[in-house]
Amino acid sequence: MRHCATNMSGLAEPLRTRAGWATIPLEATLALPPAAQIRVLRSLDLVAVNTDGRLLMEVAAKLMAVRGRARLIGIDILLPRPDGPVGRVRQHLARHLLRRVQRFYLFQRDVVDLDRFYGIGPRCEYVPFKSNAWDRITRGDLVPTDAGYVLHAGRTHRDLRCFLAACRYQAVPTRLLLQAPKSLRQHGTANDVVAVPPWVEVVRDEDSRDSFEAHLAAARLVVVTVRPGTITPAGCGTLFDAMALGKCTIISDGPATRGIIDSTCAVIVPPGDPVALGAAVRRFNTDHEARQQIGAAARIRAQLFRGADRLHADLVKRILASQ
């Protein structure tokens, strides 16, 4: 029997049923006393790290130190654009540690900057993301309506300054859904909520998934602003949930969109451009026919991505094929 440690719990069942693998939680492995941790790391055939770049590099360093034979893969690893002298030092260390990673399964096709900064391009493979709300939507537990407001939501590398600047170009009912300040900081979003126009309601939901989905389902338009220069697919989670609900979504151009969606199923605007964003909001807030056309195309496109079961099965298929 082969053994895998991972922080992505959804891989456990398809790995067991399709290949007879045993999986253990990665966090529990790293919490073991040193001697026991070394024994487990040396016994592993695969380590799969999801999202956390620091955790991936920690595991890479430990596998090198103990001369572990495990195949190390990264899934949706969110690496930052190096910024300043400290960022460049971290970049050089990361490039060294990431050489231990055999494969990166990413939710983006555009890996030009990731390769330029971290040298991982040839080891990257695109895997389509999913809608986190897919099961609730398909069961009929989450039903789209139109409460007449524009919604901005999400937490990763959001450009709140650009969004609020765009809001000043048109007085339409708008909600800015904010997660907890700590969560925003951890995901690269500055809490730039200043000079809020009176028609913008700031809603702090403290990371509530129910609140997020309810606001998304009732929105007329969904807006996802992503900071210029972002090198990971920030915004894809909100985008795919909105598409599954048949919402017309306005999103900044970036790795979440390039080569994955086009202007038939979303409105793609230049990042950091409040004038272009404001014009898009103004048009699609009032143009019912255009909004419905994009929303219908988005719903059809979302059927290609579906939910978590499809994603986990897809990942396991690729992992097993590469053994």
Task: Note the pLDDT tens digit of each residue in 179-213.
Answer: 877 887 887 888 778 789 999 999 988 778 899 99
pLDDT at 193: 80
pLDDT band at 170 (very low <50, low <70, confident <90, very high): confident
CATH number of 3-129+308-321: 3.40.50
User: Taking 90 as the threshold, does the pLDDT of residue 162 lie above it?
Assistant: yes
- Matching CATH number, 134-305, of 3.90.420.10, 3.40.920.10, 3.40.50.2000, 2.60.120.10: 3.40.50.2000
Report pTM: 0.93
Mean pLDDT of 139-162: 95
How high is the mean pLDDT of the chain?
94
pLDDT 10s digits, 50-90: 999 999 999 999 999 999 999 999 999 989 899 889 889 99
> Once rounded to an integer, what is the mean pLDDT over residues 217-225?
98
Residue ranges, CATH 3.40.50.2000, the chain: 134-305
Residue 238 has pLDDT above 90, yes or no: yes
Alpha carbons 35 and 297: distance in angstroms, whole number: 55
pLDDT digits (tens, 9 = 90+) for 265-296: 999 999 999 999 999 999 999 999 999 999 99
Reduce the secondary structure of the chain to three states and give it as a string.
Answer: CCEEEECCHHHHHHHHHHHCCEEEEHHHHHCCCHHHHHHHHHHCCEEEEECCHHHHHHHHHHHHHHCCCCEEEEECCCCCCCCHHHHHHHHHHHHHHHHHCCEEEECCCCCHHHHHHHCCHHHEEECCCCCCCHHHHHHCCCCCCCCCCEEECCCCCECHHHHHHHHCCCCCCEEEEECCHHHHHHCCCCCCCCCCCCCEEEEECCCCHHHHHHHHHHCCEEEECECCCCCCCCCHHHHHHHHHCCCEEEEECCCCCCCCCCCCCCEEECCCCHHHHHHHHHHHHHCHHHHHHHHHHHHHHHHHHCCHHHHHHHHHHHHHHCC
- Mean pLDDT throughout 254-262? 96
Model confidence at 172, in pLDDT bands (50, 70, 90)?
very high
Residue 301 has pLDDT above 90, yes or no: yes
